[in-house]
Amino acid sequence: MDLRDAIRNNAMSRYQWVVVSICILLTMVDGYEILITSYTLPALTEHWSLSTGQQGLVASFGTLGMGVGAALLSPIADRIGRRRHIVGSLALIVLGMVLSGLAPSFELFLAFRFFAGLFLGAIVPSVSVLCAEFSSRRRRGVVMGVYGIGLPLGAAVGGFLSVWLIDSFGWRGPYFFAAVITTLLLVLAAAALPESVGHLVEKRPAGALRDYNRIAAKIGVPAVDELPAGSAAARGTTFASGMWQGVMLPRTLLLWVSYALVIGAFYFANGLTAKLVTQTTGDPDFGIRAQALVAAGGVVGALLFAAVSRKIHPRLVTALIGVVGFVVFFVFAAYFDDKTAVLVLAVLIGLAVNGGVAAYYAISPSIYPLAIRTAAVGLMMGVGRIVAFFAPNIATYLEQHGFTPEELYRLYGVVMVVSAVTVTALHLTYRGRNRDDAMDAEDAQAGENAGDARGEAVTEAGADRPATLAG
pLDDT band at 218 (very low <50, low <70, confident <90, very high): very high
Residue 455 maps to a domain: no
Please determine, for residue 468, whether its predicted confidence score (pLDDT) is greater than 60. no
Inter-residue contact 228 to 201 (CB < 8 Å): yes
Inter-residue contact 269 to 291 (CB < 8 Å): no
- The Cα–Cα gap between 64 and 389 comes to 5
Question: Could you tell me the pTM of the whole model?
Answer: 0.81
Q: What are phi and psi of 171, to 5 degrees?
A: -65, -20
One-letter amino acid at 72 equals L
Residue 228 maps to a domain: no
**Residue with the larger pLDDT of the pair 261 and 56:** 261
Going from the C-alpha of 374 to that of each of 24, 233, 249, 355, the distances in angstroms are: 17, 17, 17, 21
pLDDT value at position 432? 86
- The Cα–Cα gap between 384 and 66 comes to 10
**Residue with the larger pLDDT of the pair 173 and 36:** 173
- The Cα–Cα gap between 409 and 415 comes to 10
pLDDT value at position 470? 41
Inter-residue contact 385 to 66 (CB < 8 Å): yes
pLDDT value at position 467? 47
Inter-residue contact 385 to 69 (CB < 8 Å): no
Going from the C-alpha of 462 to that of each of 300, 448, 458, 466, the distances in angstroms are: 57, 21, 6, 9
Please determine, for residue 1, whether its predicted confidence score (pLDDT) is greater than 90. no
pLDDT value at position 256? 94
Please determine, for residue 426, whether its predicted confidence score (pLDDT) is greater than 60. yes
Counting the structural domains of the chain, the total is 1
Q: Count CB neighbours of 208 within 10 A.
A: 18
pLDDT value at position 447? 55
- The Cα–Cα gap between 52 and 291 comes to 19
Mean pLDDT value of segment 39-65: 85
What would the pLDDT profile of 155-196 be if each residue is shown by its tens digit? 778 877 888 899 899 999 999 999 999 999 999 999 999 999
Inter-residue contact 434 to 250 (CB < 8 Å): no
What would the pLDDT profile of 370-390 be if each residue is shown by its tens digit? 888 888 999 999 888 888 777
| DSSP H helix total and E strand total for the chain | 22, 0
pLDDT value at position 279? 78
Q: Is 2 helix (H, G, I), strand (E, B) or coil?
A: coil
**Residue with the larger pLDDT of the pair 50 and 99:** 99
**Residue with the larger pLDDT of the pair 215 and 440:** 215
pLDDT value at position 441? 72
pLDDT band at 469 (very low <50, low <70, confident <90, very high): very low
pLDDT value at position 105? 94
C-alpha 181 chain-centroid distance: 19
Mean pLDDT value of segment 261-265: 92
Please determine, for residue 102, whether its predicted confidence score (pLDDT) is greater than 90. yes
- CATH number, position 133: 1.20.1250.20
pLDDT value at position 471? 38
Please determine, for residue 135, whether its predicted confidence score (pLDDT) is greater than 70. yes
Mean pLDDT value of segment 310-337: 92
Closest CA to 125 of 315, 365, 314: 365
pLDDT value at position 433? 86
Please determine, for residue 455, whether its predicted confidence score (pLDDT) is greater than 60. no
Mean pLDDT value of segment 280-298: 80
Residue 442 maps to a domain: no
pLDDT value at position 451? 56
Residue 139 maps to a domain: yes
pLDDT value at position 465? 53
Contacts of 121 (CB under 8 A, 6+ apart): 65, 66, 67, 68, 69, 70, 71, 73, 74, 378, 381, 382, 385
**DSSP 8-state secondary structure symbol assigned to residue 467:** P
Mean pLDDT value of segment 85-106: 96
**Residue with the larger pLDDT of the pair 305 and 288:** 305
Residue 194 maps to a domain: yes
Residue 386: give the domain boundaries: 3-205+213-223+235-437
pLDDT value at position 47? 93
Inter-residue contact 254 to 422 (CB < 8 Å): yes
Q: What is the 3-state secondary structure (H, E, C) of 39-92?
A: HHHHHHHHHHCCCHHHHHHHHHHHHHHHHHHHHHCHHHHHHHCHHHHHHHHHHH
Q: What percent of the chain has pLDDT above 90?
A: 43
Inter-residue contact 295 to 155 (CB < 8 Å): yes
- The Cα–Cα gap between 374 and 380 comes to 10
- The Cα–Cα gap between 385 and 329 comes to 21
Residue 470 maps to a domain: no
